Structure 1
Amino acid sequence: MSDTESTNPHSPVIADRLRVDAAPADGVVVIAPHGELDFDTVAPLVDALNAQDPASHVVIDMRAVTFMDSSGINVLLAAYQTLTKKGGRLSLVAPSGPVLHTLRIVGVDTLLDCHSSLDSAVNS
């Protein structure tokens, strides 16, 4: 699959708008999206989340997310439901100002564990 293809047949991913890195860290999986999370770009984040054991602790490092719309929120909520149903956990790290504002508007910040640092989220 090329950098500009997506698993979502309805929206090609524009490679320069979102990159997603995933790596284990101290017994948890850290997923780090970089860029914008919207309808056209969420597929790599969905793929990274779907590749994880649903009984694991997944940390999404939001420090490099510059924009998020309802598509990104839906991905976070779906991941939270999948993980918690199977005994796993989802934590967020330091959403940026605009992203945190979006999470607060819809109340997601009260549902998901939000941490100010990666170390705090990994060790929670």
Structure 2
Amino acid sequence: MPSERTQIRTSVTPRGITVVAPAGELDYNSAAALETAITAAGRLPCVVVDFSHVTFTDSSGITALLRANRNLQAAGGWLRLSSLPDSPLQAMEIVGVDHVIGIYPTLEAALRT
């Protein structure tokens, strides 16, 4: 169950790409819900996580992203991250997530293929 401080919304673009939009903190309390939202992609296992409303990410959130990425790739899809604020972006870069998962400056850029 997500933290009371975290909300996760999902939508699907006309092209079938799932957009997962968490808001708040991605931590131990919300990591499982984030991973579930990502891996529950519809007909096309392609997902963009829009970080524009995320204020904090810890190792649990990063681990959930890496596991979800592995699962989507195994299903023939991909995971992209967009609109990361400075703090979550720095955390992703420090541990090298940006070498494994594509990080884009905007949601629109991440949705372009």
Q: TM-score, normalised by structure 1?
A: 0.83
Q: 1:22 is matched with which residue?
A: 10
Structure 1 match to 2:74: 85
Distance 1:114 1:14, change over 3 A: closer
Number of residue pairs the alignment of both structures matches = 112
Q: Which residue of 2 aligns with 1:49?
A: 38
Could you tell me whether the CA contact under 8 Å between 2:26 and 2:54 is conserved in 1?
yes
Runs of 5+ consecutive residues of structure 1 not aligned to the other structure? 1-5, 7-12
**Displacement of 1:40 after TM fit?**
1.6
Q: Give unmatched runs, 5+ long, in structure 2.
A: none
Larger Rg: 1
**Match runs of 1:40-79 below 5 Å:** 40-53=29-42, 55-79=44-68
Cα pair 1:54 1:82 within 8 Å, conserved: no
Deviation at residue 53 of structure 1 after TM alignment? 4.1
> What percentage of aligned pairs have identical amino acids?
35
Distance between the aligned counterparts of 1:70 and 1:54, measured in 2? 29
Higher mean alpha-carbon deviation, 108-117 vs 46-55, is at 46-55
Superposition CA RMSD, Å: 1.5
Provide Cα deviations, 1:58-98, integer angstroms capped at 9, x if missing partner: 00001111000000000000011001111001010021100
Contact 1:19/1:33, CA 8 A, preserved across alignment = yes
Structure-2-length-normalised TM-score: 0.91
> Secondary structure of 1:92's match?
strand
Q: Match of 1:78, as an amino acid?
A: R
1:102 is aligned to: 91
